[in-house]
Homo-oligomer: A and B are copies of this chain.
Amino acid sequence: MNLTILGCYAATPRTFTNPTSQVLEISNRLFLIDCGEGTQVQLRKNKVKFSAINHIFISHLHGDHFYGLIGLISTFNLLNRNNPLTVYGPVGVKEIIKLQLKLSNSWPQYELNFVELSSNQSEVVFEDDKVIVKTIPLKHRIYTNGYLFQEKPKERKLNVAAVQEYQIETCYYQNIKNGKDITLDNGKIIPNELLTFDPPAPKSYAFCSDTVYNEDIVEIINGVDVLYHESTFLESEEVLAEKTMHSTAKQAAKIAKQANVKQLLLGHYSTRYESIESFKDEAQTIFEQTQLSNDGVTFQF
């Protein structure tokens, strides 16, 4: 599981900082999460293959999370994209994009789909044979969802030496990898654990931005490998954080601790701070396994 941070700063794009966008690579799928202005240039700078992005998840309709979407959709068309593209986001995102495509008379040649969200309960929005994506209802000034990306349990690894020893035919291998025991011709049952090794544990990633401190999400994100939680402010601005419905680094750490996540990744920093190191320092007083996201950084989990 790789996560590339295209942008992790709040409010406006600036000369050296970018608004929210991330690329998550999980089970060989590439998901784009949020799409602030300039995301397509950040994709180029970070050498992400445009055509591999088939799903874009938008948290909410504040500009620093989606103003780059219309440009990316248009550029996909100029690049002669063929694959369908699906955009997941709050009700309204479809109207905004369609209106602009209509007025520019440039409806894409590829299939463009929208999954519009309005529920305040966590729901599955994407599922295939390897990955499942659920919403994480957040509390912000406008309707907002985080997203939980979970790998499905992987098939067990074949113990090649063992299956050869028992002279099991190849046609049974898939059943074995699926966890089944095998009955030999002499009637003897070989339990699956003698024929396989444990698969790698499925990975999970929770993206939570933007949100005020909200313990309701703890249950949904419980035990994830990586939690990206917004930390727009430091503790000194706690009142402002609540007023603007954002979180502090310490609050993000509290959520990480309660949800028993393996790692916390901070981001969505206000540009008022000269350095972001203090965010880590504050969070680590609560939750040690904290890292700072930063534009252009790729994390391997």
Residues of A within 8 A of B (CB): 11-15, 37-38, 40-41, 44-45, 61-63, 67-68, 70-71, 74-75, 78, 90, 92, 95-96, 99-100, 103-106, 141-142
Q: Are A63 and B100 in contact (CB under 8 A)?
A: yes
| Residues on B with beta carbons closer than 8 Å to the beta carbon of A95 | 99, 103
Q: Are B96 and A92 in contact (CB under 8 A)?
A: no
Q: In whole angstroms, what is the CA distance A44 to B16 when docked? A: 10
Q: List 12 A-B contacts (CB under 8 A).
A: A11-B75, A12-B40, A12-B71, A12-B74, A13-B38, A13-B41, A13-B71, A15-B44, A15-B45, A63-B71, A90-B103, A96-B96
Chain B residue at smallest Cβ distance from A45: B15
Q: Are A62 and B104 in contact (CB under 8 A)?
A: yes
Q: In whole angstroms, what is the CA distance A13 to B70 when docked? A: 13
Q: Are A68 and B103 in contact (CB under 8 A)?
A: no
Measured CB to CB, the closest approach of chain B to A100, in angstroms, equals 6
Measured CB to CB, the closest approach of chain B to A130, in angstroms, equals 32
Chain B residue at smallest Cβ distance from A12: B75
| Residues on B with beta carbons closer than 8 Å to the beta carbon of A99 | 92, 95-96, 99
Q: Are A141 and B38 in contact (CB under 8 A)?
A: no
Among B38, B62, B75, B141, point to the contact of A41 (Cβ < 8 A).
Answer: B38
Q: In whole angstroms, what is the CA distance A61 to B70 when docked? A: 12
| Residues on B with beta carbons closer than 8 Å to the beta carbon of A103 | 61, 90, 92, 95-96, 142
| Residues on B with beta carbons closer than 8 Å to the beta carbon of A74 | 12, 63, 67
| Residues on B with beta carbons closer than 8 Å to the beta carbon of A68 | 37
Q: In whole angstroms, what is the CA distance A63 to B95 when docked? A: 16
Known A95-B99, A142-B105: A41·B61 in contact at CB below 8 Å:
no
Known A61-B104, A106-B62: A78·B37 in contact at CB below 8 Å:
no
Known A71-B63, A95-B99, A105-B141: A78·B38 in contact at CB below 8 Å:
no
Measured CB to CB, the closest approach of chain B to A30, in angstroms, equals 20
Given contacts A96-B103, A103-B142, 20 further A-B contacts (CB under 8 A): A11-B75, A12-B40, A12-B75, A12-B78, A13-B40, A13-B41, A14-B44, A37-B71, A61-B103, A61-B104, A62-B106, A63-B70, A63-B71, A63-B104, A67-B70, A95-B99, A96-B96, A96-B99, A99-B99, A104-B142
| Residues on B with beta carbons closer than 8 Å to the beta carbon of A13 | 38, 40-41, 71
Q: In whole angstroms, what is the CA distance A11 to B74 when docked? A: 9
Q: In whole angstroms, what is the CA distance A201 to B200 when docked? A: 77
Q: In whole angstroms, what is the CA distance A68 to B40 when docked? A: 13
